[in-house]
Amino acid sequence: MKNLIGPHGSEVLLPLYIKDNDVRQGLIQESKSLKKITLNSSAASIAVMLGAGYFTPLSGYMDKKNAISVAKSMITKDGLFWPVPIMNLCQCVAGIEVGDSIALLDPNIDGNPPLAIQKIESIEELSDDEINEIAKNVFGTNDANHPGVENFLSCGKFLVAGDIQVLNYSYFPEEFPNTFATAVEIRQKLENLGWSKTVAFQTRNPMHRAHEELCKMALSGIKADGVLIHMTLGKLKEGDIPGDVRDKAIRKMVELYFPPNTAIISGFGFDMLYAGPREALLHATFRQNCGCSHLIIGRDHAGVGDYYGAFDAQKIFDNPIVKKSLNIQIFAADHTAYSKKLKKVVMMRDVKNHAKEDFVLLSGTKVREMLSNGQELPLEFARKEVAEILMDYYQSR
């Protein structure tokens, strides 16, 4: 059997979740007597990703030198490629000191149970200039209207660095029992299926006809064994469709419209950054850790508003550091849409003699407006069964 693509920066996955139940229960008990800080949602989702092996080979939260180096050059001080800083930023660090083991409390579960234990290696304050520099490098802007920048600026100035031991996967296994999976579990599933060539599709939205056909184009174009439809289950910006609704819609589409045994539906516990090109690189890095050989990168991947050029997220993969560091390949796609002339979904760059009005194109705002008003989406845009699930959600709000 052909081997899966190897993890990033390691021979094997390095999940930080404490698998041994006795050891883990002992740490949970110990955490009750430790000093505590409540994480922000971003840092909590990082802990989940570290625990699940997605962020192999990292062993915890970065210090200032590493965070700034990664923001600037995508390289840690030890020479490891990593596309975005992995930080535990805090508003207040009163009462904790270097050398302490502290309990990191989960902000997203009632009662704030311990999510992880961190050994503090450093506590550093970021200056306003350093915060702005990190934002500009990671998000391409320090405009506070950008949802990723707005969230980053709200997290605090104090950087608490050090290795962590992860005690659970927060709310994800309970809220998404059939969807949330670790990188370890996905890699094992691909091995069991014998899929050596898997293309990943990243989504934070329900999948319309264009997304469905894009996955099928990628499957055919690279002769893949199957597609991993891999959805963000963490916090999104206001107006995005909740994870449970998206999950239901995607499952219905795959059940009815994909050939049997060609798609895995899964999800990961990370909050969206909306960081465009840098987030595309992060998506590729942790899909390599999952065992995927390819990742679909379409128009404005992980973008928001007009902050990024349409194909910036594809161009960044031509960076020499990226080419040298990642083994996963991208399937570079254009916008896909239904052609009224050809009566099928096409990649817009591949068809000639088409004007904008020859395609069925609906903005997210227009889709939400139609569904809220009880108007049916065009069949050329969305599968009827998918549209019904979305309609039920919008009508029940």
Q: Does residue 317 sit in helix, strand or coil?
A: helix
Nearest one of 324, 261, 326, 256 to 297, comparing CA atoms: 326
Residues 235 and 40: beta-carbon distance below 8 Å? no
Amino acid identity, position 201: F
Angle at alpha carbon of residue 94, lines to 89 and 95, rounded to 5°: 115
Identify whether 57 is preceded by a cis peptide bond (ω within 30 of 0): yes
Active site residues: 204-205
Name the residue with tokens 């961190």. Answer: 118
- Length of the chain as a residue count: 397
Residues 74 and 86: beta-carbon distance below 8 Å? no
Residues 63 and 165: beta-carbon distance below 8 Å? no
**Phi–psi pair at 114, nearest 5 degrees:** -65, 130
Nearest one of 196, 220, 197 to 333, comparing CA atoms: 220
Classify the C-alpha dihedral 339-342-347-349 as positive or negative. negative
Q: 367 exposed, middle or buried (CB, 10 Å; 0-12, 13-18, 19+)?
A: buried
Residue by residue, DSSP assigns 257-289 as HS-TTSEEEEEE-------THHHHHHHHHHHHH
User: Distance between CA atoms of 300 and 279, rounded to whole angstroms?
Assistant: 11
Angle at alpha carbon of residue 378, lines to 377 and 383, rounded to 5°: 80
138, 324, 331 from 69: Cα distances, Å = 11, 18, 29
What six digits make up the tokens of 389? 């699930």
**Phi–psi pair at 282, nearest 5 degrees:** -65, -45
